[in-house]
Structure 1
Amino acid sequence: MGNSNQKLQEEKYENVMKKFKLKESLQHTQLGMVRIYNLKDDNNYSIFEFHKTATTSEEAKLMLTHYKNRKCYNNDHLTQIFFISEQHSQILCQDQTQFIIIGEFFYNNIQNEMKNYIQKNNSFPEARLWQITLQIVNACTYLETNGRNHGEIKSKNIYIHPDQSVKLIEYNFIYGSMNGYQKALLLNDFQYLAPELLKEVKAKKSSPNIDFIKGDVFALGLTLLELASLNSCEQYYDWISKEVHTDKIIKANDLLLQKGYSTLFTNLIYQMISDVDIRPRFSDLKEVLSHFENQINNNVDFYSKYQMRQSNQFNIYNSVYTQQYQRPGQINQAQSIYLPNGSY
């Protein structure tokens, strides 16, 4: 019976793969070792294939449940799994279950797009940044409603579909993977961690009682600042002492006004990197961005529409950054994106 099931699974696998041709094997930063196949009729469409082995029946059940649940996720901006194969074998009198997972694969990412603007000495278009923001917020809100979070938001982990839309792979896409906090704690791997998370890393807490959703919002704020400024935000961290210089982040964000970015966009970033008590979650951001969705999708120039009035402008160079999270100058509520009282 077992051999018959295995043959059936192999036949299904062959049916799935017959339209594809192997391109290469590579070590992916999030997926690990994968094989990449291209569609025979379209080289622009690629899929990944990776193998995972469970050594106990209990682990096999957990792993299968994990990937089946993930396969059911339905969001345009989350990387899709569309095939799971389960094969059983016995090695040295030990039962093993091997899973073959196949899903959509994207070579390009936002970090590469940023490098292209740097090489051309051009600014990252604000309209494109709004589209990226809206799509990431939609995907992360979907994860939030399913009790998950992305866990490692950074430019190289934001992938680009051939149609230029954004695709994400959350940290536990792979069963048993570590999130950014765990990598920082156990491997001392640099991550865009929020101040409250970095404090927990410094205290070496394995299970911090922290809102990881808000931690992801902070990481997205830094990523947007990085794209707009075309400068890595690693410079705002002292990774040895495990401190983040939020005052310098705020100042860098304010300087985006001089580069031609709208007050609305800089205020959005400011809210994302604000203190955890007032920082929005993705569900909050989605509600706010819903009021601008049509404008974002129609490439409205927010700089012209929401330009700060001359009377409300502040001199960036003369601003005094005396307290963390203190925004210099007065912000007109009509130009804000999210405030504690829920305005946008």
Structure 2
Amino acid sequence: MGNSQNGKEDMDYDKMIKNFSYIQDINHFQLGNIKIYDAIENKNHKIFQYKRLCQSDQQLQQLRNHFIERKKLINEHLIRVFYVMGKESVMCSDTSHVVILGEYFGNSLQQEHEYNLNQKMIFNESRLWLIIYQIIQCCAYLEEQGKYHGDLKIDHVYLDLDGSIKLIEHNLIPGSLNPYQKALYNNEFHAFSPEMLNLLQQSEDKEKQYSKLDILTLNKSDVFSFGMMILELASQFETKQYYDWEAKTMNYQQIISSIQFLTNRGYSTIFQNLLLQMCLQDIGERPGFQEMRIGLQSLENDILSHTAFYRSHIK
């Protein structure tokens, strides 16, 4: 590998990182091995550092370009990458690497869910509407950018100090397994949509078929997983109960029955109807995130102000 000019990037990195103090190394669900730092002036502000060693200048440039493009994605509910450095080797014996710094939030929706379970409390419907609204805003933004989240799970939905949603899409780190690959190789699944289950049932060329899916299909598959995630929060029953993982099938009627039962727990019919729409078995009938974002516009002020607008819809 040849010489390169890294001086400015090094200085920029040193200037930024001096405002933070190292806390620990962790193995993160989605980001892999990262370092966590506290802001020196505000311990509540944390960042992560991700470093990837590169085997060639070409690989370094590809990774650097990927993260630079990711840095351009800005949405209130999407984890931000705010610094990217690609450091080429100075000597042939040196190792090239890419470093990124981004927002870090340690709390997740899983912790809030577990707290409610332990306290024998159900989610307040106003809280669930805010979660729904914020996730839709983020995923509709990704859809507009020709991307999809691809990993909507309760423990992959992060929370800031105010309880607002922060998301990390499945391919922020290049080379990470997507949910379909996780299911295929690790027998791991999370509220798979009917179309993803159909792929798993195929005898051959599963990954090839997955790679051919368009963004609309992938986003509508996310909508189904999203609906199942909200159903789990509201019903407090794990989504795995609806699946036969050996046969790669789901009990769709049981899903519908669980959604219909939510009114007995005090949830409104409008909430129930939204979940029924998100969990439609027919992908052609199931709404996309941009469509749902438009549908929620009339309720936006009430959702953001935590107004119990849904009470008039309770049977």
Q: TM-score, normalised by structure 1?
A: 0.85
Q: Which residue of 2 aligns with 1:325?
A: none
Indicate the SS of the match to 1:178: coil
| 1:1-344 correspondence runs (5 A) | 5-89=5-89, 93=92, 96-203=95-202, 204=204, 205-206=206-207, 207-208=209-210, 209-210=212-213, 211-274=217-280, 275-308=282-315
2:219, 2:266 → 1: CA distance?
30
Larger relative CO (CA 8 A, sep 6+): 1 or 2?
2
The CA deviation string for residues 243-290 of structure 1, in whole angstroms up to 9 with x for no partner, is 111111111111110110000001111101102120011111111011
2:164, 2:76 → 1: CA distance?
9
Indicate the SS of the match to 1:144: helix
Contact 2:78 2:167 in 1 (8 A): yes
Mean CA deviation greater in 152-161 or 57-66 = 57-66
2:312, 2:18 → 1: CA distance?
52
* Structure 1 vs Structure 2 CA RMSD: 1.7
* Residue identity matched to 1:202: Q
Indicate the SS of the match to 1:44: coil
Contact 1:228 1:256 in 2 (8 A): yes
2:93, 2:175 → 1: CA distance?
22
Contact 2:267 2:314 in 1 (8 A): no
Indicate the SS of the match to 2:101: strand
Contact 1:181 1:191 in 2 (8 A): no
Contact 1:49 1:100 in 2 (8 A): yes
Pairwise CA distance, 1:4: 7.4
* Residue identity matched to 2:146: G
Contact 2:61 2:86 in 1 (8 A): no
Pairwise CA distance, 1:241: 1.0
Pairwise CA distance, 1:190: 1.9
Mean CA deviation greater in 53-62 or 142-151 = 53-62
* Higher Cα Rg, which structure: 1
Contact 1:79 1:104 in 2 (8 A): yes
Pairwise CA distance, 1:176: 2.4
**For the structure 1 residues 11 and 163, does the alpha-carbon distance in structure 2 shift closer, same or farther, using more than 3 Å as the test?**
same
Contact 2:4 2:88 in 1 (8 A): no
Indicate the SS of the match to 2:78: coil
* Residue identity matched to 1:43: K
Indicate the SS of the match to 1:33: strand
Contact 1:77 1:166 in 2 (8 A): yes
Pairwise CA distance, 1:142: 0.7
* Residue identity matched to 1:282: F
1:65, 1:238 → 2: CA distance?
41
Q: TM-score, normalised by structure 2?
A: 0.93
* Residue identity matched to 1:54: C
Structure 1 unaligned segments of length 5 or more: list them: 309-344
Pairwise CA distance, 1:22: 0.7
Pairwise CA distance, 1:110: 0.5
Identity of aligned residues (%): 36
Contact 1:55 1:95 in 2 (8 A): no
Indicate the SS of the match to 1:170: coil
Pairwise CA distance, 1:186: 2.8
